[in-house]
């Protein structure tokens, strides 16, 4: 079974873009099991026909809560004829956390921290007026939350020219990065998907809903689509990324 799962899922990288690229494979493995379920014990193991499942790295595919285990099992149960990793964002994420984050969470936290020095929310357009207003409406409340709740006061810049953030702001926000490997793994995925560690931390702390975080991450893209029209291929890619975000948020909710 392990060899089948390795071939289907590979050693999934934490970067969602790279994960999506690897999962675009033309040949899918046939479904080889009748039933997916959750076993007893903590962590809760995923069972296929009563047999425990291994991650591509050879670790037990076991979840911290039963609710999370049932959500992963539901992805396996939903596979129809073939196992399609692209339709299993939560399974891909937990595989990556178990194999890549749990053994060494500190480098993952450092990846999140790097975004704080040039966070998306700090770089503003100077025109048109509608875009400026939309950025302020979505982003200012998050920056205010970081200032008031985390003690991190970031400075804003117009355009894309790099502006160094105060050391105290970065250090204060850095303290909010969770140490728990499951949570930091989910936060890292959200950071990569949104381009903003502050959006990820606000979602992790319950300050934002999934929909609010997604809208904040796509202010510029939404403005461009409103101005120039919709790109169906881009929207399809965006839907896949949103599924990744929902999976990461599900991990955070399950452990909250």
Domain residue limits at 24: 2-101
Q: Which of 101, 120, 137 is the last residue of a domain?
A: 101
Is residue 87 within 8 Å of residue 170, measured between CB atoms? no
CA distance 212 to 242: 12
Q: Note whether 244 and 138 are same-domain residues.
A: yes
54 is written with which tokens?
């291994």
Q: Note whether 180 and 209 are same-domain residues.
A: yes
CA distance 7 to 188: 25
Q: Note whether 71 and 131 are same-domain residues.
A: no
What pLDDT digit, counting tens, does each position of 138-196 carry?
999 999 999 999 999 999 999 889 999 999 999 999 999 999 999 999 999 999 999 99
C-alpha dist (Å) from residue 186 to 23, 56, 93, 156: 19, 19, 8, 27
CA distance 13 to 195: 17
CB atoms within 10 A of CB 51: 12
Is residue 109 within 8 Å of residue 185, measured between CB atoms? no
Helix (H) / strand (E) containing 89: helix 89-96
What pLDDT digit, counting tens, does each position of 55-108 carry?
999 999 999 999 999 999 999 999 999 999 999 999 999 999 999 999 999 999
What pLDDT digit, counting tens, does each position of 189-222 carry?
999 999 999 999 999 999 999 999 999 999 999 9
CATH number at residue 141: 1.10.3580.10
- Higher pLDDT: 94 or 234? It is 94
């Amino acid at each position: 079974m392990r060899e089948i799962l390795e071939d289907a899922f590979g050693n999934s990288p934490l970067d969602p873009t790279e994960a999506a690229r690897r999962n675009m494979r033309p040949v899918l493995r046939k479904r080889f099991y009748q039933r997916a379920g959750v076993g007893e014990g903590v962590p809760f193991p995923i069972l296929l026909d009563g047999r425990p499942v291994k991650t591509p790295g050879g670790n037990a595919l076991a979840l911290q809560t039963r609710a999370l285990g049932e959500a992963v099992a539901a992805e396996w149960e939903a596979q129809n004829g073939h196992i399609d990793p692209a339709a299993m964002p939560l399974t891909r994420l937990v595989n990556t956390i178990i194999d890549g984050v749990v053994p060494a969470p500190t480098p993952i936290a450092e990846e999140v921290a790097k975004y704080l020095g040039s966070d998306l929310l700090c770089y503003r357009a100077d025109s048109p007026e509608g875009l400026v207003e939309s950025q302020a409406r979505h982003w200012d409340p998050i920056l205010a939350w970081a200032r008031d709740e985390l003690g991190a006061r970031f400075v804003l810049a117009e355009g894309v020219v790099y502006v160094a953030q105060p050391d105290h702001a970065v250090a204060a926000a850095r303290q909010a990065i969770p140490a728990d490997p499951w949570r930091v793994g989910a936060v890292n995925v959200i950071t990569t998907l949104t381009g903003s560690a502050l959006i990820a931390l606000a979602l992790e702390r319950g300050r934002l809903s999934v929909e609010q975080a997604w809208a904040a991450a796509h202010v510029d893209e939404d403005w461009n689509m409103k101005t120039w029209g919709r790109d169906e291929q881009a929207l399809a890619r965006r839907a896949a990324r949103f599924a990744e975000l929902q999976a990461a948020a599900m991990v955070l909710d399950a452990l909250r």
